[in-house]
Structure 1
Amino acid sequence: MGTRPASTPSYRRLSEADFDARVRALWRRYEDCDLCPHDCGVDRTAGETGACGVTDDALVASYFDHHGEESVLRGHSGSGTIFLAGCNLHCVFCQNFDISQRLQGDPVGPEEISEMALELQDRGCHNVNFVTPTHVAPHLAAAVRIAHDRGLKVPIVWNCGGYERVDVLELLDGIVDIYMPDVKWSDSEAAVEYSGAPDYWDRARDALREMHRQVGDLSTDCRGIATDGLLVRHLVMPGHVENTKGVLAFLAEEISQETYVNLMDQYRPHYRARTDSRYEEINRRVRSEEYQEVVAYARELGLRLA
């Protein structure tokens, strides 16, 4: 993991013309929506909805200085999280299902999102952290454009579910500083059953390659705060040790052994996993021996663990 001086801005500026062209290209995708691999083809500008359940309005559930993120993001002053409602995944265990599936949030435009970002920077947050951003990428890119012109300096974090399109990620090159995909599945059957994404692993692998191509391994400044790069989250699921090992092996063998990985052990049954008997096998916490097995495997592979 590289280190940069604290005074070095991590924001990689595009020319104004290039930035504007990227934003326009993203806006056009709402009209026949293919922002994510579901490729719904609906006209969200006409009020139609696809897998994410959202029209062309971005919905913000909350924004605040988050002190529960990884240490390289939260530092001493917090990560400036902006939680977007809606999601292109339908995880039956989602702990934020009121936001992701029930769309609890207020409609906002790029101007308002830019004001949130600048307010979070003014509070001292070390970054602006867009949570579940994929389905409203046009709003967020436009907001960053506005905020950049008004003095936004802190890194932009793309805190997504890993179910991404490479051609959309390419439009974010130079806009996003830190990619933080929560990579869920290397097991395609599980991805269908628990997240409604039949091609999840194919898409996630391609997305990880593109993210790493853009930003490389995670770098920090002299305070230990992330400036740019790839940070991968993975939630260890009960009974799915081999799934986790598949994710870790891919990262070590095909991305980089320097990949910074947060292996999360905080799984709790939420949403349908807690109430629907069809998901009884994941209606329990992860056992200590399951978690320790995957941690040992990650260390064996040489990955950097959060």
Structure 2
Amino acid sequence: MGEREASYLSLLRSGELARRAEAARAILSACTLCPRQCRVDRLHGERGYCRSGADPKVSSFGPHYGEEPELVGRYGSGTIFFSNCTMRCEFCQNYSISQEGAGYEVSCDDLAMMMLALQRRGCHNINFVTPTHYVPQILGALVIAAGAGLSVPLVYNTGGYDCVHTLKFLDGVFDIYMPDAKYGDDETARRLSHAPHYTRHMKAALLEMHRQVGDLVVDDEGVAVRGLIIRHLVLPDGLAGSREVFRFIAEEVSRDAYVNVMDQYRPMWHAAAETAPCQESLGRPLRVEEYEEAVAEARRAGLYRGF
């Protein structure tokens, strides 16, 4: 990461990081971390839509080389895969983790040790995958890890179904945000991901993330040190609404935004079942021409970084 210091270290020294961790944890008593606003008491055993409790649940962690090159660098992105999710994407590629809950509950001390272990492995960053429902636990673990020498940037790797009031806890904590911009319209988001008002929340979240960290900045070796990376998975038959997604990014976020237009869709989980309601379009892989058209839409919108 060159000479740049990870943002959270100044908050650690001032005591602000510990204060935010405590304030965020209090939210778990009537949880409103995500747009579901379940208001369950996770501190005393209640579980809402995400089926998560007071402790973070982790599926796996380790250096990951399949992320964007700007995150992977030479030594990999230090990825921590959290279990459970605030959405129910019919085509989820990681459904055993996000939908079936594969993983094990750990303490914040354990989570901190994972971060430190990844840093010792030489990873360029700590990459939290599906972190929305564990923000308080991440902050609590970060206080411990940063106090013990953690210094690499943090990556918030999310499906985009986030609340601005939760993201404000992370202002000055995360250097890199990597949200999905999954859909261009709410009806498709509701039908395919069971995420009410997805586009409203996603758009507000991306604007807040960009306000906090700006466009992607890399060091002399091309490794990300700060900024926003936006992912958009192209779906068959234009279901993702790529044109509207790219228009929003270009016109309301930034024409200099880094956008990964992803082509790896394949039928998984419910989309792979012949009786699934979404089978008519999602039961087949993405066609080359569909992906090429999406990239053309990104260019027509004025975007040029990533793809």
Q: TM-score range by the shorter chain?
A: over 0.9
Secondary structure class of the residue paired with 1:278: coil
**1:296 paired residue number:** 296
Structure 1 residues 241 and 297: CA distance shift in structure 2, 3 A: farther
1:253 aligns with 2:235: no
- Poorly superposed stretches of 4+, deviation over 6 Å: none
**How far 1:146 sits from its partner (Å)?**
1.2
**1:80 paired residue number:** 78
For normalisation by structure 1, the TM-score amounts to: 0.96
**How far 1:112 sits from its partner (Å)?**
0.8
Aligned equivalents of 1:220, 1:56: Cα separation in 2: 36
Residue pair 2:184, 2:245 contacting (<8 A) in 1 also: yes
With 47-56 and 83-92 compared, the bigger mean Cα shift is at 47-56
Secondary structure class of the residue paired with 2:123: coil
**2:5 paired residue number:** 9
Letter of the aligned partner of 1:295 in structure 2? V
**How far 1:289 sits from its partner (Å)?**
1.2
RMSD (Å) for aligned C-alpha atoms: 1.3
1:49 aligns with 2:50: no
Letter of the aligned partner of 1:255 in structure 2? V
**How far 1:302 sits from its partner (Å)?**
2.8
With 73-82 and 144-153 compared, the bigger mean Cα shift is at 144-153
Deviations 1:17-52 (A, max 9, x none): 211111111101111010000000111112111111
**2:33 paired residue number:** 35
Residue pair 2:188, 2:239 contacting (<8 A) in 1 also: no
Residue pair 2:29, 2:42 contacting (<8 A) in 1 also: yes
Secondary structure class of the residue paired with 1:277: coil
Aligned equivalents of 2:301, 2:6: Cα separation in 1: 29
1:105 aligns with 2:89: no
**1:96 paired residue number:** 94
User: Please, which runs of 5 or more residues in structure 1 have no aligned partner?
Assistant: none
For normalisation by structure 2, the TM-score amounts to: 0.95
Letter of the aligned partner of 1:288 in structure 2? V
Residue pair 1:187, 1:201 contacting (<8 A) in 2 also: yes
**How far 1:285 sits from its partner (Å)?**
1.1
**How far 1:241 sits from its partner (Å)?**
5.8
Aligned residue pair count: 302
Structure 1 residues 67 and 193: CA distance shift in structure 2, 3 A: same
Secondary structure class of the residue paired with 1:116: helix
With 291-300 and 163-172 compared, the bigger mean Cα shift is at 291-300
Output aligned runs, 1:1-306, within 5 Å: 6-12=2-8, 13-14=10-11, 15-240=13-238, 243-275=241-273, 276-280=275-279, 281-303=281-303, 304-306=305-307
Secondary structure class of the residue paired with 1:54: coil
**How far 1:242 sits from its partner (Å)?**
6.6
**How far 1:298 sits from its partner (Å)?**
1.1
Aligned equivalents of 2:152, 2:205: Cα separation in 1: 24
Aligned equivalents of 1:163, 1:241: Cα separation in 2: 18
Aligned residues with identical type, % of pairs? 46
Deviations 1:124-164 (A, max 9, x none): 10000000000011111111121111111111000011000
Residue pair 1:11, 1:154 contacting (<8 A) in 2 also: no
Aligned equivalents of 2:17, 2:201: Cα separation in 1: 25
Deviations 1:46-81 (A, max 9, x none): 211111111112111000100000000001100000
User: Please, which runs of 5 or more residues in structure 2 have no aligned partner?
Assistant: none
**How far 1:301 sits from its partner (Å)?**
2.5
